[in-house]
Amino acid sequence: MFYRMGVSIIVVSLVASATLAQDARPQGANTELFKQLNEGDLTPEQSRDLQKIRNLKTTVDAKVISLDVEALRSASTVTVRLDSSRATDIGLGGLQTASSGSSDKYIAGPNGELSKSSALGTTTAASQDFARVGSISPSSDNPTPRKSIFHVEGNRVFGSIFASDAVYDIRPIAGGSAHVLIKVDQTKFPPEHPPASRPDNRGDLPPDAGVVQNSQLRKPNDSKVYDIRVLVGYTPAVKAAVDSPAGLIGLAIDATNSSYQASKIRAKAVLAGTVEVNLVESGNFSKDLAALRTMQSLREARHSANANVVVVLVNESQACGLASQIYANPANAYAVVYYDCAVTNLSFPHEIGHLQGARHNPEEDSAGVPFAYGHGFLKPTQHVRDIMAYDCAEGCVRQPQWSAPPDFGTPDRSNAAKVIDETAPYVASLH
């Protein structure tokens, strides 16, 4: 799930009473978002889900907590205790519409038939669903601001907190009234891409890059924010592993949009639809990606949802993800992502970034096509890296941000934000 630290799991029940609204809180006091509870109070189903999370290689510890969902809705600042020794304040941005609920849901049947379904997970009225992006103030030791993303569907909260030394994940468990706060060790994630010919076993890149035509790129006077419509699939194995695929997908879309906003990219990821894909996972990313690209029911779902790109979540830990091509064309704008890497390792926007034309940091990938300046960026002195970069020797937490000069990139090599912004019109035209 996340970074070069441990994974602490904290189970949370939600406190949603109206008496906790911001106008009822003491003036000048920040709200404590979490309160620790007794793990013995969990139901058997919740204990089962908690154990599933603890069994992940990236998970280190678990604590049961209550979570004040009304504070996420109304407070401007909340305090979180990510471990027992320190309190961290998160300033919350404005209320946003959650990336969920209204998108179409499909099921691909065993014989290839396609049908709309509500089986993705429990959803609630749109008025109860919201998202908020938070910021952890920079310090003298870590001057780069850290982001937090919260996706709320009714009483279910999905979130990621990108702290200075680690990343934390929030997931609901059975019943929706309890949650888990997970401190993630990013070094325990599988390779970024499936291992193959690279001697360091860190994974191969997607196949050769697509050919760029200048007519496909954003024109100098074009300030439009382009919608990138994403159809997100998930396999039965993911459905069995995750309490709510819907919430995880919504958080992945929100994290992608948070990264666009943070990097001043004029694009918006739109959840075009969700589809339960009838794929028996083989354990081989390349094989499964090839099978998904030719699956008739998935093609039909993409057409019905008018989606530009397709990302399928899988439950196989051979790698964190794989895109069909760097700078995709209409026929191969597909990617697969291991669900546990999707948000806490930002592999969901990472693979979409490949489809949009971005590459890894130049220390790992020196190729200059399709864009010489389209690489990720490392900042080892501050222990951070952008979405497209591999880890650094000093330990760099991946942030929901794209490389961009002057402070988080270079003009000639590491300006992935420019690539994503320039290619937005083209990617938005893929069908």
Show which residues are catalytic. Answer: 351
Q: What are phi and psi of 348, to 5 degrees?
A: -65, -60
- Which residues make Cβ contacts (< 8 Å) with residue 231, sequence separation at least 6? 272, 273, 274, 275, 301, 302, 305, 307, 309, 310, 311
What secondary structure does DSSP assign to 161-203, as a single string? EE-SS-EEEEEE-TTSSEEEEEEEBGGGS--SS--SS-TT-S-
Structure tokens at 227: 């919608």
225 CB neighbour count, 10 Å cutoff: 12
Point out which residues pair with 184 in neighbouring strands: 59, 167
Point out which residues pair with 150 in neighbouring strands: 132, 159
Q: What are phi and psi of 356, to 5 degrees?
A: -85, -10
C-alpha 286: how far from chain center: 21
For the chain, counts of helices (H) and of strands (E): 8, 21
- Which residues make Cβ contacts (< 8 Å) with residue 300, sequence separation at least 6? 114
